[in-house]
Chains A and B, each alone.
Chain A
Amino acid sequence: MENSQFYLFIRGPLLWVAFVIFIGGIIFRTLQFFRLTQKKPPLTYSPIKNHEERYGKSSTLGRKMQLLVELKNSFFGQNPVVALVTLFFHILLFIIPIFLLAHNLLWYESWGIKLLSFSESTGNILTIIFLTLALFLLLRRLVVAEIRALTGKADYFVWVITVAPFLTGLICYQQWFNYQISLMIHILCGEFMLIAITFTKLGHMIFFFLARFFVSSEYTLGPGTRIWK
């Protein structure tokens, strides 16, 4: 009885608290970003004409070469293994919780929302892949001297916060231990991660999109209309 009351508490009010802090954190960080940046002033000089304006349209081979050079200079070219691991790690981090069948059933039960879902076995395999990638990133932190020099206690803490919901989710699905207790730990870990996004360096989830899309730079992915104040 005590267990079920606690379960209802973490599935109800505590989940709302986590969601409110998570959404509030996103709004707060976004506003902070816009306060710390300003609109990019117009150029006061004529920019150098680009290659196309100067020499006419380049050949297909030329464009391909240019793309290859850009790729080689990007960190996909410099460090392809880590770049791909990081990319898939982050993609899985987003899609697994959103498209997991068990989660979608909860969405449907609570609000009648139907989302696209993975089959249970796909969700299971993707979680295992995610945990393997996370292990790779942890080993990289422990083994590579350069990364070890940058790593502090907070980095390991953030790694644990990120991995715990997935590991406990896998334990729940496989029912390796007491299901009810595993499930409650899983929910708590998920809620803790949502809350931690606002207060820890997991906030780079928000910062990445703001800085890479809005701040003007050579590597901008979006309009790049702002600069730091």
Chain B
Amino acid sequence: MKETLRAVNNKKFQKILDQKKERMKFLLSFCAHCGLCAESCPLYRNYRKPEYIPAYKAINSLGKIYKKKNNIDLKLLEEIKELIWKNCVLCGRCYCPLGIDIPGMIALARSICRSYGIYGVYPHSLGEPL
């Protein structure tokens, strides 16, 4: 438990965050939360759940990371893992009417998680049923 609550605010982490901070904050600040990106996601069209809406995935992964900049722990990254690996295949088909680069945001969230050894394992790669 202690391990999962360990703060991850070290230099390596901050460097990744700072590299694209301005661009990501710029993009996050304009999301109108209109939900019009939903229908462009093949996974959302299959499951019809809010967790599959592209904007939801970006806001609740990268958005949370930037929001809790000084208060991020491994538990948060583990929660985000589900959203950005299980609920997104990064196919790049998401369409934002405002022109927000959603795949770019999810890709950065993945990089951040990966830098802490947190990454998605697809069920079928372990021989589990889909």
For B95, the chain A residues whose CB sits under 8 A away are: 75, 219
Contacts A150-B55, A215-B101 known; 13 new A-B pairs at CB < 8 A: A75-B95, A79-B36, A86-B97, A145-B50, A147-B33, A149-B56, A150-B53, A155-B33, A158-B32, A207-B98, A207-B99, A208-B97, A210-B99
CB-CB contacts below 8 Å: B56-109 with A: 56, 59, 95, 97-101, 104
Q: How many angstroms from the CA of A86 to the CA of B33 in the assembled complex?
A: 13
Given A146-B50, A228-B23, is A204 in contact with B38 using a C-beta cutoff of 8 Å? no
| A56 smallest CB distance to B (angstroms) | 30
B104 in contact with A228 (CB, 8 Å): yes
Chain A's closest residue to B59 (CB) is A150
Q: What per-residue 1/0 map shows which CB atoms of B5-39 lie under 8 Å from chain A?
A: 00000000000000000110010011111111011
**Among A36, A150, A207, contact of B33 (Cβ-Cβ < 8 Å):** A150
The smallest beta-carbon distance between B117 and chain A, in angstroms, is 27
Asked if residues B98 and A211 are in contact (CB atoms below 8 Å), the reply is yes
Contact indicator A86/B34 (Cβ below 8 Å): yes
Residues of chain A touching chain B, judged by Cβ–Cβ distance below 8 Å, are 32-33, 36, 75, 78-79, 82-83, 86, 144-147, 149-152, 155, 158, 201, 203-204, 207-208, 210-212, 215, 217, 219, 228-229
Indicate if the CB atoms of A32 and B26 lie closer than 8 Å.
yes
Question: Do B31 and A149 touch across chains, with their CB atoms under 8 A apart?
Answer: no
Most chain A beta-carbon neighbours within 10 Å: one of B30, B49, B53: B30
Residues of A within 8 A of B33 (CB): 147, 150-152, 155
Is the CB–CB distance between A201 and B30 below 8 Å? yes
Our pick among B32, B50, B56 for the contact of A201 (Cβ within 8 Å) is B32
Q: Which residues of B does A touch, CB under 8 Å?
A: 22-23, 26, 29-36, 38-40, 49-51, 53, 55-56, 59, 95, 97-101, 104
A158: min CB distance to chain B, Å: 8
Q: Are B36 and A86 in contact (CB under 8 A)?
A: yes
- A78, A155, A203, A212: which contacts B39 (Cβ < 8 A)? A78
Enumerate chain B residues within 8 angstroms of A78, measured Cβ to Cβ. 39-40
Question: What chain A residues lie within 8 Å of B22 (beta carbons)?
Answer: 32, 36
Residue of A nearest to B104 (CB): A228
Chain A residues whose C-beta falls within 8 Å of the C-beta of B29 in the assembled complex: 201, 203
A150 touches B50 (CB 8 A): yes
The 10 tightest CB contacts between A and B, nearest first, are A211-B99, A149-B50, A78-B39, A150-B33, A147-B35, A212-B99, A207-B30, A204-B30, A146-B50, A36-B23
Q: Which residues of B have CB within 8 Å of A82?
A: 36
